[in-house]
Amino acid sequence: MKKTVKFLYHLVILVVLLIFIVSCHEIVSTTELTDINDDVIIENTPNGSPIINNTIISKDYPPHLIPGQEAFDWENLEYLPLSPYAKAPIPLPWTDKAKRCFSDDIRYDFKKSDGWELYSCTFSKEIFAAVNTFILYNRYRGVLRYYYYLTGTGIDKVKDFNILSNSILAVGSHASMSPSLNFAHQKIVDINKNSILCTTIDLQSISDSTWYVWENEIAFDKDIYNQNPGTLMLGFAYYMLKKNVLLLNGKPISNLNTKVRFSDTQYGYGDSYSGDVNLLLYGKNDLNQVSSILSASDLSSLKQIYNQQSFNELLNGTIDSSSEGEIQWDANISITTAPSGVGLTGGNETFAVSGADNSVMQGMRPFYTKALGVFYLNAKPKVTYSKLADENRQHQYEFNANSVEYLFNPSVTEIADIKNITQEIVATQNAGLFENYSRAKLFIGQKLTSNLPLTIQGVRVGFDVVPKDGSKKVHIVKTFQADIIVAK
């Protein structure tokens, strides 16, 4: 009898435990608790919905080309159109006959079917230009890509120079009010601060009759339709530097096709700088280039992005479904250069911004006439901070999804659908995003509850640009600074 009572007692205890476990599981499921990591509870139940601003009225200015401007078929030609005064034929930069100082990720990414348009060029059968350049624009990514062909005398003077520095700048009375360069220059985008200059370096020596390439992602400026060449233009400046000291992630580097961008700062010749930069990775070839300077965890995260299209660790990138496109990844640099640099042929060039009224411009105008960029936000996202009475979980951060107002470029939404919008808080334990030559641990979610205060790096937004003609979709990720609202 005693054995039976004892058995029934244990059975009742077991049933109670099972009921308790099931109840706990149901509680967790209803709150969609997805992760507990380093004493941070992450929840992903959206609070509100984003706002899509559909009130932007675009203007479509006709092209105003000068006589002799030639829109050549860059996809199918082997050589560029040149005037009779040209000294030698120039092959297209992706052909086998061309010399290149850029990676194969860029080399094979130029097709119309992937969104590329001819923006401008100096090549023509009727016009002789001393500077050999052309620009492509990707309408699904919002990227301007500048191709520069260097040829001429004086190369021997810079043969021991080993850094090609290039900058894009906004000029005109509207420049400081335009967000155009914010995606290119700012690691975490500040809606209240507009960048007018962005500097990138290529860690390689110069050579004659060689193609160089650099690109910048442009943010959509909703006021572009009211501008003209007197209020806003973009320009490129480029020159050679000689490095005295250069370490990336603590390791000496000689040559590297992967580009390095100074984010939220500038760099000029004769300067010394130690701090954060961005590696610009365009694909798997670039990733292989920098694998030796990346930590094991960063290399693993980047491989997941490229191989699995897993974007959880990405804070700034524009990448299509074939893993082509630009990813910006944190790195550390220590650099000192010689006190003087050497200019290159055509070292400064300005060009009109399409979408503006360029009818009064002097000189060559863009073939592309639509506004640049895919999107921007109308204001800073908002995150609410609450101090909780719970001794174990005192700090709570909740994202207000309806605080985000998207400004999508009408010239993009007429040719593509915007799908799968995601929005999340990005937080770290400490202030830095980059610690000990590696990406800091990120806490990403709609609501974060922690036993310690967190640093809110910003709000990450992401979405797919899905072309209506069936072309490859593009996934865009950007992180914006947020306003922190303290709950009363």
Residue 234 in this model has a pLDDT that exceeds 90: yes
Mean pLDDT across 376-394: 92
Residue 414 in this model has a pLDDT that exceeds 90: yes
Q: Is the sign of the CA dihedral 352, 355, 356, 361 positive or negative? A: positive
Which pLDDT band holds residue 446 (cuts at 50, 70, 90)? very high
Pick from 162-166, 421-425, 445-449: least confident: 162-166
Residue 473 in this model has a pLDDT that exceeds 80: yes
More confident residue, 397 or 268: 397
Which pLDDT band holds residue 222 (cuts at 50, 70, 90)? very high
How far apart (Å, rounded) are the C-alpha atoms in residues 337 and 246?
A: 8
How far apart (Å, rounded) are the C-alpha atoms in residues 461 and 397?
A: 17
Residue 33 in this model has a pLDDT that exceeds 70: no
How far apart (Å, rounded) are the C-alpha atoms in residues 241 and 339?
A: 9
pLDDT at 307: 92
SS3 for the chain is CHHHHHHHHHHHHHHHHHHHHHHHHHHHHHHCEEEEECCEEEECCCCCCCEECCCCCCCCCCCCCCCCCCCCCCCCCCECCCCCCCCCCCECCCCCCCCECCCHHHHCCCCHHHCEEEEEECCCCCCCCCCEEEEEEECCCCEEEEEEEECCCCHHHHCCCCEEEEEEEEECCCHHHCCCCHHHHCCCECCCCCCCEEEEEEECCCCCCEEEEEEEECCCCCCHHHCCCCCCEEEEEEEEECEEEEEECCEECCCEEEEEEECCCCCCCCCEEEEEEEEEECCHHHHHHHHHHCCHHHHHHHHHHHHHCCCCCCCCEEEECCCCEEEEEEEEEEEEECCCCEEEEEEEEEEECECECCCCCCCCCCCCCCCCCCEEECCCCEEEEEECCCCCCCEEEEEEHHHCEEEECHHHHCCEEEEEEEEEEEEECCCCCEECCEECCCEEECEEEECCCCEEEEEEEEEEEEECCCCCCEEEEEEECCEEEECC
Tokens for 105, please give them.
């990720």
pLDDT at 37: 56
pLDDT at 12: 35
pLDDT at 239: 86
Which pLDDT band holds residue 153 (cuts at 50, 70, 90)? low
More confident residue, 254 or 6: 254
pLDDT at 161: 83
Which pLDDT band holds residue 38 (cuts at 50, 70, 90)? low
Contacts of 169 (CB under 8 A, 6+ apart): 181, 196, 197, 198, 234, 235, 236, 237
143 bridge partner residues = 138, 217
Contacts of 273 (CB under 8 A, 6+ apart): 262, 265, 267, 333, 334, 335, 336
Burial 439-449 (b: 16+ CB within 10 A, else e): bbebbbbbbbb
Residue 335's CB: how many other CB atoms inside 10 A? 24
Pick from 228-237, 344-353, 364-373, 407-416: least confident: 344-353
How far apart (Å, rounded) are the C-alpha atoms in residues 379 and 179?
A: 12
More confident residue, 213 or 159: 213
Residue 241: name the closest of 205, 214, 215 by CA.
205
Contacts of 435 (CB under 8 A, 6+ apart): none
pLDDT at 42: 92
Residue 212: name the closest of 196, 247, 236, 180 by CA.
236
Mean pLDDT across 195-224: 93
Residue 395 in this model has a pLDDT that exceeds 70: yes
Instruction: Give percent of the chain with pLDDT exceeding 70.
Output: 91
pLDDT at 67: 79
For the stretch 109-122, pLDDT in tens is 999 999 999 999 98
Residue 471 in this model has a pLDDT that exceeds 50: yes
pTM: 0.90
More confident residue, 325 or 339: 325
pLDDT at 87: 80
pLDDT at 149: 92
More confident residue, 311 or 266: 311
Whole-number average pLDDT of the chain: 87
Residue 35 in this model has a pLDDT that exceeds 80: no
pLDDT at 7: 39
Residue 18 in this model has a pLDDT that exceeds 50: no
More confident residue, 31 or 475: 475
